Amino acid sequence: MEQNVLLGAYVFALAIFLGLEIINRVPGTLHTPLMSGTNAIHGIVLLGAMIVLGTANNWWLQAIGFVAVVAGAANVVGGFAVTDRMLEMFKKKPVPGGAGAAAGPAQGQGKAR
Amino acid sequence: MIDNWRDAFVDLAYFAASVLFIVGLKRLSSPASARQGNQLAMVGMLVAVVATLFTRGFENSNYILIIVGIALGGALGYLPARRVKMTAMPQMVAIFNGMGGATAALVSIAEFSHKTDIPGGEAVSIVLGTIIGAVSFTGSAIAFLKLQELMSGRPIVYPNQKPINAALFGGIAVLSLLTLVLYDGNLTLARVLLTLVFVASLVLGALVVVPIGGADMPVVIALLNSATGLAAALTGFVLNNQALVVAGALVGASGTLLTLLMARAMNRKVTNVLFGAFGGGAIASGAAASTGEAKPIREISAEDAAVPLAYAQRVVIVPGYGLAVAQAQHGVRELADMLQERGVDVRYAIHPVAGRMPGHMNVLLAEANVPYDDLYEMDDINDDFAKTDVALVIGANDVTNPAARADTSSPIYGMPILNVDHASQIIVLKRSMKSGFAGIENELFHDPKTTMLFGDAKETINRLIGAVKAA
């Protein structure tokens, strides 16, 4: 079997286990941003589209490559932008009576209730 | 020598990108660091894209096409992403997911159409990448149309649905095998066959999602997300690009995990969602309609409902998708703030399938500035309902139905539910006595501890706010 595919299979299997470990710990609160964030990450297939278009030597490959680059870029940029917008809205509880309303998510004693 | 350095730079950049994706995803596991995590992944993507421009063997004349394509696609993604309403998030994710699927399929086809001497492992990856990418593209497109209500969200059934899908799937399998057997001798024919595989997969993706109802979309979107991840990883095998493999595998893992989680929360098997078992639900709804009228319910006015809320020690709010439909989340936040100012302990109980995608309700409440530490997942709050004075159920139905615990004949028996019925008093805000998605009667509404407050959620909340002020 060709070594590159085999190497890819190893990397793939390890990354799957790693992914399951990491994502298992993501709380339900963040499942929508997680989904849209990973959605943006699979837009990495844009690299494949760039390679197809970059190495294209006839109009047919250029056409396929161009459509793929447009779709891939939309996936990446849109996915990250929408995830960022969502995560921006997740705020910790402000400290009651605290003067710093602008303290934002940085402060640590928000647990008081 | 220069070329070696150049290759090394590209490879190292891909490695850095992979690490950034992993660290970014890890940061996503806490609300405090999640935004930073997403931004790390963004940086990783930028590094990978820039590095790809330095790949050897690009035709000079194609650079301009690449730049124009990225700018065009970026704008097409960015503008709707900034404007989309949070309630429309599931269809936004669906459409971006479809774009990724299309890209993976096109890359696979392009690789097959210009390479010669393709080793067997790569050929298999190409065929699978084409199928999965194409299914993900049209499947996501149909999911988008359904969620956007450009197409009926009800399950669309047509005669011989299962045999047609099975035949199509069989056809794709046969054509794929033929492609793989023939490509070594007759590459031209194999290329034609792969195109047929592509077209048939496009049709299959659409046909599989068309019969699935709107309420099952959380499962479908998670599954399609995982499929696109897998397709990306497969193109990584073909292009010998480990960054694609790592990123694709991470997404595949996350999508699969969320799919199983959602299916479990709905007490359904993934196969059951995909291959349709909607007859059961429809029959149950007929049965419910005949018995629904008989049992007594107690109605309450907003003024009367405000009193126990205002003087309670502990209140748990149970939001359902009905709240989002009525755009009442801002009103609810205002009501909660007002109660908290009076010293009431107010918390939110979120069922995993509240909303149209995993975790959707949390985003909708975050948009209304509800702090995330007031949002509790089902398992973390279920034991606390017994110590709760008032449970305020807003636009949620099936996920509060005690029948899921006790009634073995109920279609939702076994579904994990919120223990709303353990609270001392329950106030249900509801538009009418219509049954929920599962089409079954909710015993909770007939519980002697329950009172019903009918009307549009937004208006009702506003009346509650006024009444709490006066209390």
CATH topology of domain B297-470: Rossmann fold (3.40.50)
- Tell me, yes or no, if B421 is annotated catalytic: no
CB contacts of A44 in chain B (<8 Å) are 17, 45, 48, 232, 243-244, 247-248
Answer yes or no: is pLDDT of B285 > 60. Answer: no
**Residue range B360-374, pLDDT digits in tens:** 899 999 999 999 999
Least confident range from A43-57, B93-107, B235-249, B269-283: namely B269-283
Contact B297, B427 (CB under 8 A): no
Partners of B77 on chain A (C-beta within 8 Å) are: 73-79, 81
The confidence score (pLDDT) of residue A111 equals 39
pLDDT digits (tens, 9 = 90+) for A14-62: 999 999 999 988 988 899 999 999 999 999 999 999 999 999 999 999 9
pLDDT of residue A31: 92
A74 half-sphere exposure, CB direction, 13 A CA radius? 25
**Taking 90 as the threshold, does the pLDDT of residue A64 lie above it?**
yes
Q: Identify the pLDDT of residue A106.
A: 41
CB burial readout B381-399, b (16+ within 10 A) else e = bbebbeebbbbbbbbbbbb
Could you tell me which residues are beta bridge partners of residue B345? B314
Q: Is the pLDDT of residue B470 over 90?
A: no
Q: What is the mean pLDDT of chain B?
A: 89
* Chain B residues with beta carbon closer than 8 angstroms to that of A23: 25, 29, 253-254, 257-258
Q: Which of B104, B252, B377 sits opposite A27 (nearest CB)?
A: B377
Q: According to the model, what pLDDT value does residue B212 have? A: 86
Q: How many CB atoms lie within 10 A of CB B224?
A: 31
Across A45-54, B395-404, B429-438, B447-456, least confident range: B429-438
Interface membership of A80 toward B (CB under 8 Å): yes
Q: How do residues B43-82 score in pLDDT, each as one tens digit?
A: 999 999 999 999 999 999 999 999 999 999 999 999 999 9
Q: Give ipTM to 2 decimals.
A: 0.87
Of A9, A62, A73, the CB nearest to B77: A73
Please report the pLDDT score of residue A1 as a whole number. 61
Q: Which of A64, A1, A19, A78 is nearest to B88 (CA)?
A: A78
Q: Residue B437: which pLDDT band, with cuts at 50, 70 and 90?
A: low
**B360's tokens:** 């959707």
Rounded to the nearest 5 degrees, what angle is found at the Cα of A16, between the Cα atoms of A14 and A22?
A: 105
Residue B147 has pLDDT above 70, yes or no: yes
pLDDT tens for B173-184 read 999 999 999 998
Average pLDDT over residues B84-100: 93
Q: Which two tokens stand for residue B99?
A: 């774009």
**Structure confidence at residue A45 (pLDDT):** 97
For residue B249, what pLDDT is reported?
Answer: 96
| Predicted confidence (pLDDT) per residue in B112-133, tens digit | 999 888 999 999 999 999 999 9
Does residue B295 surpass a pLDDT of 90? no
pLDDT for the residue numbered A97? 54
Give the start-to-end residue ranges of the domains of chain B. 88-276, 297-470
3-state secondary structure chain B: CHHHHHHHHHHHHHHHHHHHHHHHHHHCCCCCCHHHHHHHHHHHHHHHHHHHCCCCCCCCCHHHHHHHHHHHHHHHHHHHHHHCCHHHHHHHHHHHHHHHHHHHHHHHHHHHHHCCCCCHHHHHHHHHHHHHHHHHHHHHHHHHHHHCCCCCCCCCCCCCHHHHHHHHHHHHHHHHHHHHHHCCCCHHHHHHHHHHHHHHHHHHHHHHHCCCCHHHHHHHHHHHHHHHHHHHHHHHHHHCCHHHHHHHHHHHHHHHHHHHHHHHHCCCCHHHHHCCCHHHHHHHHHHHHHHHCCCCCCECCHHHHHHHHHCCCEEEEEECHHHHHCCCHHHHHHHHHHHHHCCCEEEEEECCCCCCCCCHHHHHHHHCCCCHHHEEEHHHHHHHHHHCCEEEEECCCHHHCCHHHHCCCCCCCCCCCCCHHHCCEEEEEECCCCCCCCCCCCHHHHCCCEEEEECCHHHHHHHHHHHHHHC
- A63 part of contact set with chain B, CB < 8 Å: no
**Six token digits for residue B112:** 């097959």
- pLDDT tens for A76-112 read 999 999 999 999 999 887 766 544 444 444 443 433 3
The domain limits of chain A are 40-88
Q: What's the pLDDT at B439?
A: 65
Per-residue pLDDT band for B307 (boundaries 50, 70, 90) equals very high
Quick check: B419 and B382 in contact, CB under 8 A?
yes
Q: Does A102 touch chain B (CB under 8 A)?
A: no
Of residues A32, A45, A87, nearest to B35 (C-beta): A87
- The predicted structure's pLDDT at residue B78: 97
Asked whether the beta carbons of A40 and B44 are under 8 A apart, the reply is no
What does the DSSP 8-state code read for residue A91? -
Among B374, B438, B391, B447, which residue's Cα sits nearest to residue B412?
Answer: B438
Residue A73 touches chain B, beta carbons under 8 Å: yes
Q: How far is CA B280 from CA A112, B264, B287, B397, in A?
A: 47, 18, 11, 18
The CA distance from B461 to A100, in Å, is: 30
